[in-house]
Amino acid sequence: MLSDENQPGLELAPGVRVDPGVVELSFSSSSGPGGQNVNKRATRCQLRIALRDLPIHPEATERLKHAASHLVTPSGDLLIDSDQERSQGRNRDACFERLRELLILAMKRPKVRRATRPSRGSKERRIESKKRRGEIKKNRRSSFD
């Protein structure tokens, strides 16, 4: 996640660079098993970045909001945290990697679906299933002879 010598800033994803001051990292004690290490070390990492500070297309920002809606705060910040690892550095790297994956996903334009006609076989299967369904319902009727 370190920056190139040629380009200033922090590279979050291919083509996405931000000023290091935009990304806010905080560390706290993790939960779960781990004995004394859990109580003594602040290994849990929380990464916060404002969506408005990301230099990506507005459509990509909307896709990011939709894809990571559970990670976006009401104020418009993206909040990613990790406490899977026992090391603060690895948890920090995991946060940046998750952010990278989300940005790559958001920047990918969805393929436009081209309308196609249903094939003959699919039409036949549909009609056959409708007939079967009708037979089942017809057999439910009681005859009053």
Q: How confident is the model at residue 5 (pLDDT cuts 50, 70, 90)?
A: low
For the chain, which residues make up each domain, given as ranges? 10-107
Angle CA(96)–CA(98)–CA(102) in degrees, nearest 5?
115
pLDDT reading at 12 higher than 80:
yes
Q: What is the mean pLDDT of residues 57-75?
A: 93
Coil/strand/helix, residue 66: helix
Residue ranges in 45-87 assigned as alpha helix (H): 58-67
Tokens of 47: 């990464």
pLDDT at 25 over 70: yes
Give the span between the Cα atoms of 1 and 54, in whole angstroms. 16
pLDDT band at 3 (very low <50, low <70, confident <90, very high): very low
Fold assignment, 10-107: Double Stranded RNA Binding Domain (3.30.160)
Provide mean pLDDT across the span 17-30: 90
8 A C-beta contact, residue 17 and residue 10 = yes
